[in-house]
Amino acid sequence: MRILICNDDGIEAPGLARLVTAANGLSDDVWVVAPDGKRTAAGSSLTIAKPLTMRRTRPGWYSCSGTPADCVVSAMTWLFADAKTPDLVLSGVNDGRNVAEDLAYSGTLGIAREATFWGVPAIGFSRVKNPDFADADDQWLGALIASLWQSRADWATEGHWLSINLPASLPAELRQPRIGRDKIGRKAEIVESDGERTVITVPRGRDHASQPGDENGAIDAGFVSINRLNWFGETRLDDRFLDRILRQRQS
């Protein structure tokens, strides 16, 4: 079983090392391709027609100068171009939860999304900041991954992946909450202003808004939240709407 692990916090991130340790309990064929620095909120963006620098940092580990999703593309098109491709892609463990609008912004989930384009089952892992780490956490996470792999026929349908948020303490029970709303990028701070030129920053942080049944509520109550996501997300228009538009254009 070949496992590819990527993240958006960078190749030196502690969460990446923990996920590798967990995966090593499942397979001795684990590979890492991760950004050479932190790439928070990179989403699923790709670097096209510009050079990417891939650097081998240790056996089976490579840093990438691009985005989190670039790590998947570079693995598929370069690292495994003439070799067996991964059976499973894991991303994370992200330093902080990925909930609500993060489903669109998150580099961690952008990795999993990209993996589905290559037909590979994928799981994105995130955990609350400053969790209560315990020695048994990695083993517990490895057992969870093993269970999910064994049951992949139930969730790894085309174009879908899993987003899993870990609470402060493990072990924990699983819950499937609804997707909430907890907007990041809610305000701008002016750094400097000089005539026509203004420099702003969008600070980190969020309200941790929660409503009954959403991910933040489940995570804060000590549960592991698990959601199956998909990339197509189509909501079809009513045929009557299309007919009305057509009549308006013909009149």
**Cα–Cα dist 251/241, whole Å:** 16
Is residue 188 included in any domain, yes or no?
no
Residue 88 has what pLDDT? Answer: 98
**Cα–Cα dist 79/222, whole Å:** 39
Residue 186 has what pLDDT? Answer: 80
Q: Which pLDDT tens digit goes with each residue over 92-148?
A: 999 999 999 888 999 999 999 999 999 999 999 999 999 999 999 999 999 999 999
**Cα–Cα dist 175/226, whole Å:** 6
Q: Is 207 annotated as a binding residue?
A: no
The count of domains in the chain is 1
Is residue 196 included in any domain, yes or no?
no
Q: Residues 95-121, buried b or exposed e (16+ Cβ, 10 A)?
A: bbbbbbbbbebbbbbbbbbbbbebebb
Average pLDDT of the chain, as a whole number: 94
Q: Is 94 annotated as a binding residue?
A: yes
Percentage of the chain exceeding pLDDT 90: 79
Q: Which pLDDT tens digit goes with each residue over 59-89?
A: 999 999 999 999 999 999 999 999 999 999 9
Domain range holding 220?
2-182+209-250
Question: Can you give the pTM of this predicted structure?
Answer: 0.91
Is residue 202 included in any domain, yes or no?
no
Q: Is 9 annotated as a binding residue?
A: yes
Is residue 194 included in any domain, yes or no?
no
- Give Dmax over CA atoms of the chain in angstroms: 71
Please, which pLDDT band fits residue 234 given cuts at 50, 70 and 90?
A: confident
Residue 183 has what pLDDT? Answer: 78
The 3-state DSSP class for residue 94 equals strand
Is residue 46 included in any domain, yes or no?
yes
CATH code at 238?
A: 3.40.1210.10
Do the Cβ atoms of 181 and 100 come closer than 8 Å?
yes
Cross-strand pairs, 34: 63
Structure tokens at 102: 């993060």
- Do the strands 54-58 and 29-35 form a parallel or antiparallel pair, or are they unpaired? unpaired
Mean pLDDT in residue range 36-43: 90
Report phi then psi at 17, rounded to 5. Answer: -60, -40
Three-state SS for 182-236 is CCCCCCCEEEEEECCEEEEECCCCCCCCCCCCEHHHHHHCCCEEEEEEECCCCCC
Residue 107 has what pLDDT? Answer: 95
The 3-state DSSP class for residue 119 equals coil
**Cα–Cα dist 113/207, whole Å:** 26
Q: 158: number of CA atoms within 13 Å, CB side?
A: 0
**Cα–Cα dist 176/20, whole Å:** 25
Is residue 38 included in any domain, yes or no?
yes
**Taking 90 as the threshold, does the pLDDT of residue 249 lie above it?**
no
Residue 172 has what pLDDT? Answer: 97
Is residue 72 included in any domain, yes or no?
yes
Is residue 66 included in any domain, yes or no?
yes
Per DSSP, the chain holds a count of helices (H) and strands (E) of 7, 11
Structure tokens at 234: 């189509």
Report phi then psi at 167, rounded to 5. Answer: -80, -170
Q: Which pLDDT tens digit goes with each residue over 204-218?
A: 877 788 888 999 999
